[in-house]
Structure 1
């Protein structure tokens, strides 16, 4: 019996995926104990034929004793918590599931915009507190959405925003120019995008390259009524600078779905600001998205267990 070890809370729970796992006869071992730094992975990695990764990182130390392991698969898109060179040195292919959750994340970005535009969080709190405080909001139609990172998610968001009557600009050195031209998306340098946008939505990878990308200097470029949405990685945004801008009235609002540590330390003042809205890193958490991601993972597991190399292998030419 093949043993599939996962640190992803959602893998194997939704749609057709549980039945497929059962039909294959795989043993699924979950390592999601939040009281342990590795979720309990070290106790089971020696039995694993395939490792399906959630938010708990994988590095050379993690892979010690993984004698049966045939590959590492991210249950999602971002692989910044997987040490791909370490996997390559161990001869392990690394896969992810690009595009499978793009629509879900894009829709949450739209949800953040509606929530901030119509003061949904504070209005909800007011009603259930027995008050009746009607607030005048704004419409999305006619506003400018700046998308930082025009990949799978960014392109889906651009289409949704255009359908709402928004003007869309984007910043991405690798942008699909044909897509941008076909859908009237103007490609701009980041600073120009920040100056022009009413909403800025982040859809880029984390890591050292983008750490602190949105800092006090960048926030100062934004309109005082503009809102920032982080659906990327926590380290991309300087939260101290965000709070300072909110308090100074130079930033209109913020919606956050990604944090440097998860769950985050809610003693930070951003978590108590009335113009901030939060989600628990659940941009990809729709039934449709989780099933799509799971089906792609199952496909790659099948290939690995049959001795093949999945087509989505990220380090195909670099294996040791």
Structure 2
């Protein structure tokens, strides 16, 4: 069983352990490091005889899939599958799985950290203090404020749980509504326009689809409070970045904290604004979450080799229908 492993930066420290575990269960592993996997041509050349493809952010689109006539299984080391053409993989009879929820705690904790950091201007004050400027700054408490969560999946639910400790009012918007979980977490579902208008903090934690590209655009920003803070820990393309940066320059909203961007790394330098803080897509990558995802990945390949049921299949129903 030949495996192509496009090693994301987060998995570099443990990829040799993963390779050893995969080899122990009968796999022959070829690794492309994150810098090599930036070139689609490198992937196309390396995947030609692979039956299994492991990817973090490297593409698994039609071109890559067509270059791999032996490909039977694609595994995403994470939750979001926007770099995988699931429909085409399904059409070709290829299994696709991810690791939903395994990094939810890490992402949720970063969301809360960014919320506090932008409220109190922690990064800006850290920089100024180290430069010898002892400046006073009034920030905002999170307690008693309204938190709007766009996307109430495993990450959104964990954010809501933590926000409860801040005595925040939590509202949510999402296509898929788990009313039982919302009730347990003291969360109410509302329409998007209401969430935008009422929230003091808005966290974007929904998956990226064609239907929600630039979900938060200039029109949406205009509906937000002038004091509101926007936090994105999901996918950059959910926000119209030029519209957001214009709004921040004009101080139409209180501020924004971004862990993700439409182009990663950003094609242009990000604006140096006091009401904007940024991180380089670190939400799901803690030592604990990376190890959990690695375990899920290795275990699923073991199951695949031994013809056992696979966990977290993203196209199980569709493949079942095709193979009937």
TM bracket (short chain) = over 0.9
Aligned twin of 1:155 = 157
SS in 2 for 1:312: coil
After superposition, the Cα gap between the structure-2 partners of 1:161 and 1:20, relative to the gap in structure 1 and judged at 3 Å, is: same
User: Which of 221, 225, 228 lines up with 1:226 in the alignment?
Assistant: 228
Aligned twin of 1:206 = 208
After superposition, the Cα gap between the structure-2 partners of 1:7 and 1:89, relative to the gap in structure 1 and judged at 3 Å, is: farther
Alignment partners' CA distance in 2, 1:246 and 1:12: 36
Aligned twin of 2:292 = 292
- Cα deviation 1:234-265 (Å, max 9, x = unaligned): 11111121122212222101011111111112
Aligned twin of 1:245 = 247
Alignment partners' CA distance in 2, 1:169 and 1:307: 43
Alignment partners' CA distance in 1, 2:289 and 2:53: 20
- Cα deviation 1:129-185 (Å, max 9, x = unaligned): 221112111111111110001100000000000012211111113221111122211
Structure 1 residue 91, shift from structure 2 partner: 1.6
Alignment partners' CA distance in 1, 2:98 and 2:294: 11
Asked if structure 2 preserves the Cα contact closer than 8 Å seen for 1:149 and 1:204, the reply is yes
Asked if structure 2 preserves the Cα contact closer than 8 Å seen for 1:5 and 1:48, the reply is no
Aligned twin of 1:20 = 21
- Cα deviation 1:191-233 (Å, max 9, x = unaligned): 1111111100001111321111111111111111110011111
Instruction: Return 2-11 or 86-95, whichever deviates more.
Output: 2-11
Aligned twin of 1:77 = 79
Asked if structure 2 preserves the Cα contact closer than 8 Å seen for 1:7 and 1:39, the reply is no
SS in 2 for 1:304: helix
Gaps of 5+ in 2: none
SS in 2 for 1:40: helix
Aligned twin of 1:101 = 103
Gaps of 5+ in 1: none
Structure 1 residue 307, shift from structure 2 partner: 3.1
1:303 matches 2:316: no
Asked if structure 2 preserves the Cα contact closer than 8 Å seen for 1:31 and 1:40, the reply is no
Structure 1 residue 24, shift from structure 2 partner: 3.5
Asked if structure 2 preserves the Cα contact closer than 8 Å seen for 1:51 and 1:72, the reply is yes
User: With structure 2 as the length reference, what TM-score do the two structures score?
Assistant: 0.91
After superposition, the Cα gap between the structure-2 partners of 1:125 and 1:223, relative to the gap in structure 1 and judged at 3 Å, is: same
Aligned twin of 2:183 = 181
User: Which of 195, 199, 216 lines up with 1:193 in the alignment?
Assistant: 195
Alignment partners' CA distance in 1, 2:167 and 2:317: 44
- Cα deviation 1:47-100 (Å, max 9, x = unaligned): 323111111221221023423323001110111111112211222100011110
SS in 2 for 1:267: coil
Alignment partners' CA distance in 2, 1:245 and 1:12: 38
Aligned twin of 1:133 = 135
- Cα deviation 1:103-141 (Å, max 9, x = unaligned): 100000001011111111110110122211121111111
Q: Indicate the RMSD between aligned Cα atoms, in angstroms.
A: 2.1
Asked if structure 1 preserves the Cα contact closer than 8 Å seen for 2:216 and 2:240, the reply is yes
Instruction: Return 7-16 or 49-58, whichever deviates more.
Output: 7-16
Instruction: Return 206-215 or 27-36, whichever deviates more.
Output: 27-36
Residues paired across the two proteins, number: 318
